Structure 1
Amino acid sequence: MQNEPVLHSEESPFGFDELFFSRTDEAGIIRAGNAVFQRVSHYSWEELLGKPHKLVRHPDTPRAVFRLLWNTIKAGAPIGAYVKNRAKDSRHYWVFAIVTPIAGGYLSVRLRPSSDVFQIVQKVYPALAADERREKLDPDQSLARLSGQIQGLGFASYPEFMATALGRELAARNTALARPADKALRHLEALRDLAKNLLQNADRMEEAYKQNEIVPTNFRILASQLGQDGDAIGVISNNYVLLSDDMRSVLDLLMRAAHDIQRAIDDSYFLLAVARVQCEVVSVFRTEKDDESSAGEVERLDLQATDYLSRAKLSLMDIAEKTKFRDYCLEMSRLATGLEVMRVVGKVECARHESVKERVDKLLSDLQTFQLTIAGALQEIGRINLSIEAETAALIKEADLAA
């Protein structure tokens, strides 16, 4: 059928040491590029300049990827994405593309991917592209499906996915080129692991809270069944509800701070990694040619890399500020202590009522489990918080944060 794409297994090769560059206007029309782009795509400059960048689009790349890309860069934010391209002779080549907005258009730098994340994407993309054709999915429907697949891989959002992917691609590339690991990126990788651990412990507390929400209701039921003899238990239940509501409010603040920290770390990680690649492309450009047009592209890349490095540092300073949520942890500890007092008082009071002893023992045991979970999570969060502060402070001072 004429509309069915012809898939080719042969690859248009390029090395790990080679980086693509292209610049387009706001409509995606190619205005400049480097020799790697021209050679690997097998188009002449006359065939590339003034043409839409989708000239090299491969049907195995889902339309969802391009919808996400355009949504992001039109909003003024940079994006990283795996893209399978097709050369003029129908051979294909995979890249991890970094597309960034500039005045009057967009810059794109691209590298050869090889990480474990790439191995997964190589299977996901063709299947999703086939679904698009078979089910006639529009780009937004396909994007929703792609987002679901990314979450299924354990990523809360696309920004988290692209930061992880770019970091792993740069690490794999350094290994392939026998280069030392990037010290700053390695620090940021450690920060991302700490942030995930922080969220896991915050989630532990939230889950424990949800499981414990029924306890005051059960105490009220007991108080009602005991009539006037249950007045004291009713008071304990009301006090418990007040403490529990306060705990919910503080927990919400702590969860929000934990998510803010993770986003800030992902932003720093991605911006620093992008600046690293852009600076290397500048070096590539300078070895390729030294004419007036090349100088303009070098200046654009230099300016943006400097801006991204500055933004990465500001984001790190923001992390240092956001990690100061010890007040939340102290407040949670205070409330947990209050709940422990209620538990002890409840145990003493309910011991006088033999008829409900078994049920009360179960409720008090559940409450104790909840308090132990909260205490353990708070202790771990305190440790993680100190580690994040130390890592962030060290990274801000790192000389190699600069390009």
Structure 2
Amino acid sequence: MSHQAETADRHAGEEPFKLEELFYSRTDSRGVIIAGNEVFRRVSGYEWGALLGAPHKIVRHPETPRAVFRILWDAIQKGYPMGAYVKNRSKSGGWYWVFAVILPIDGGFLSVRLKPVSDLSDKMKQFYATFSERERVEKIDPEESAGMLRMGAQADGFSSYTNFMAHALGHELAARDRQLRRTADPRTQVLAEMNTAMERATKEQVGLLRSFEALQSVPNNMRIVASRLEPSGGPVSAISENYKASSVVISDRLRSFVAGEGNICDQMSREVARALFLLGSSRVLSEMNAKFVQADPVEGIDWATERELLNELEQKASIDARVAMGKAATIAGQLTQQSREIRRQMLGLDTIRVLGRVECGRMRDNSGGLSATIDQLDGFHDDIKGRLESIMRLSEEIEQSMTRYLRQSKAA
């Protein structure tokens, strides 16, 4: 940062704009500004002659981590919409926060930005200041820091960074409605409900994977105990071998269910996250469209073209959201069925476990660690079955909610 910019930052404060105002801008594929609305121009402090043809990073503030822009750029270049909290800087050195919804279009990108006012935005503002400073001090590569953000989102219980952004967008829209005293929008309510269900489902999937990994050591422990208790081929040895054979089948099924590449849990998470973000985007675009009708045209910008683009994009986001919701509902149904099948297979393992418990009782004081091993099995089995039940309930909830929303939107 130059000395002049540092001086401006010390003397400038937050640039004011109203909660009901929305920023609009469109760029080419390189990020060069092609069009925008008066809110963007006024708050940024630049005249149109300086904005049009300039790179959008003209308003970039150093306290927005480079990782955020890397994630945004990666997504939109692949044709996926993405959102982000962004701290921008005005010409005078002032600053202003937005939640940006960025969507790829033919030949470039379109962005609609709103004023973030939720509790989550307060946390993100504090996090950005710390994280951007860490990027600079430690000279962290943007790709590496982007990976850190993605891992952080997963650690907080989100299936992906897109899922976190859908959650954030839902929070901002709901908080905005409350502060503007608007009637709750059904799309925003779906966002909140589905994000809550997805967060819970993701936590259950992570827990299921951990229990599954821990379960792998139990058959080996049982064989070691059997070798101390009886000659080869005795009842405990037979139980351990049967348990191992049956658990291998279930382990393979659990691996493809939770941890394998393209596993069904991951598929559902991605489709739900995509649907929810598109759903929120559709609502933001709808409001931007309404404001565009009332706005005065800007000299040098083809206003009719911008309105047409916004209308087309709103319709596309709505259609794409319904398609993604339909896919997610189908995958959720498959997830429920697979959960039931794994639970049924677990009943077979339960039978073998009970035989082990019976054998342990027959040996009484001579069980030699068998009792502790069976206790381990009891704990793992209960945890796995409980998590499967929870995943089934949540996937059914997601399937029903999305199907209900699709019916309501079709009827409307």
| Shorter-chain TM-score above 0.5 | yes
Distance of 2:373 and 2:384 partners within structure 1:
17
Q: Deviations over 1:99-119 (max 9, x none)?
A: 211111111111111111210
Cα distance in structure 2, aligned partners of 1:204 and 1:41: 46
Matched, 1:268 2:275: yes
Q: Does 1:189 align with 2:192?
A: yes
| Amino acid aligned to 1:182 | D
The one of 330, 338, 346 equivalent to 2:356 is 346
TM-score, normalised relative to structure 2: 0.89
> How far apart are the structure 2 equivalents of 1:130 and 1:213?
43
CA–CA separation in structure 2 for the residues paired with 1:135 and 1:329: 45
Alpha-carbon offset, residue 207 of structure 1: 2.8
1:92 corresponds in structure 2 to: 95
Greater CA drift, 363-372 or 25-34? 363-372
The Cα offsets for residues 298-319 of structure 1, whole Å up to 9 and x where unpaired, read as 1111111111111111111112
1:63-88, Cα deviation, whole Å (9 max, x unpaired): 22222222222222211111111112
Structure 1 residue 18 displacement after superposition:
0.7
Q: What is the aligned counterpart of 1:19 among 22, 25, 37?
A: 22
* C-alpha displacement of 1:354: 5.0
**Which residue of the partner structure matches residue 264 of structure 2?**
257
For residue 322 of structure 1, what is the aligned residue in structure 2? 331
Question: Retained in 2: the 8 A contact 1:77–1:100?
Answer: yes
Match of 1:294 among 300, 303, 309: 303
Classify the secondary structure of the residue corresponding to 2:289.
helix
Cα distance, 1:3 vs. partner?
5.8
- Residue 216 of structure 2: which of 205, 213, 222 is its match? 213
The equivalent of 2:317 in structure 1 is: 308
The change in CA–CA distance for 1:64 and 1:377 in structure 2 (over 3 A counts) is: closer
Cα distance change of structure 1 residues 349 and 312 upon mapping to structure 2, 3 Å threshold: same
Residues in 2 aligned to 1:376 and 1:2: alpha-carbon distance in whole angstroms: 58
Is it true that 1:378 corresponds to 2:385 in the alignment?
Answer: no
> How far apart, CA to CA, are the structure 2 residues paired with 1:10 and 1:62?
20
Partner amino acid for 2:407? K
1:304 aligned counterpart, secondary structure: helix
Contact 2:31 2:55 in 1 (8 A): yes
Structure 1 residues 144 and 320, CA gap change in structure 2 (3 angstroms): closer
What displacement does 1:60 show? Answer: 1.9
Amino acid of the residue matched to residue 27 of structure 2? T
Change (3 A) 1:2 1:42: closer
CA drift at 1:62: 2.2
Kindly provide the amino acid, as one letter, of the partner of residue 322 in structure 1.
I
The structure-2 alpha-carbon separation of the partners of 1:344 and 1:47, relative to structure 1 and needing over 3 Å to count, comes to closer
TM-superposed deviation, 1:231: 2.4
Matches within 5 A, 1:357-376: 357-376=367-386
Q: Pick one of 56, 64, 80 that aligns with 1:77.
A: 80
> Aligned AA for 1:342?
I
Q: Offset at 1:36? A: 0.8
**Percent of aligned positions with the same letter in both sequences?**
37
Change beyond 3 A, Cα 1:305–1:352: same
CA drift of 1:389 comes to 2.4
* AA aligned opposite 2:406: I
Moved more, 301-310 or 392-401: 392-401
Over aligned residue pairs, what C-alpha RMSD do you find? 2.5
Tell me, in whole angstroms, the C-alpha distance in 1 between the residues paired with 2:69 and 2:389: 44
Deviation at residue 371 of structure 1 after TM alignment: 2.5
Unaligned runs of at least 5 residues, structure 2 = none
SS, match of residue 61 in structure 1: coil
Partner of 2:248: 245
Cα gap change, 1:107/1:349 in structure 2, threshold over 3 Å: closer, same or farther?
same
- CA distance in 2 between counterparts of 1:329 and 1:149 reads 28
For residue 234 of structure 2, give the secondary structure of its aligned residue in structure 1. helix
Per-residue deviation, 1:38: 1.1
**Residue 93 (structure 1) shift:** 1.2
Determine helix, strand or coil for the equivalent of 1:228.
coil
Q: Taking structure 1 as the reference length, what is the TM-score of the superposition?
A: 0.91
The runs of 5 or more residues in structure 1 that have no matched partner are none
- Indicate conservation of the 8 Å contact 1:5/1:59, yes or no: no
Of 61, 65, 70, the match for 2:68: 65
1:168 match: 171
CA apart distance, 1:401 = 9.5
Quickly say closer, same or farther: Cα 1:124–1:372, change in 2 above 3 A.
Answer: closer
Confirm or deny: 8 A CA contact 1:184 1:400 kept in the other structure: no
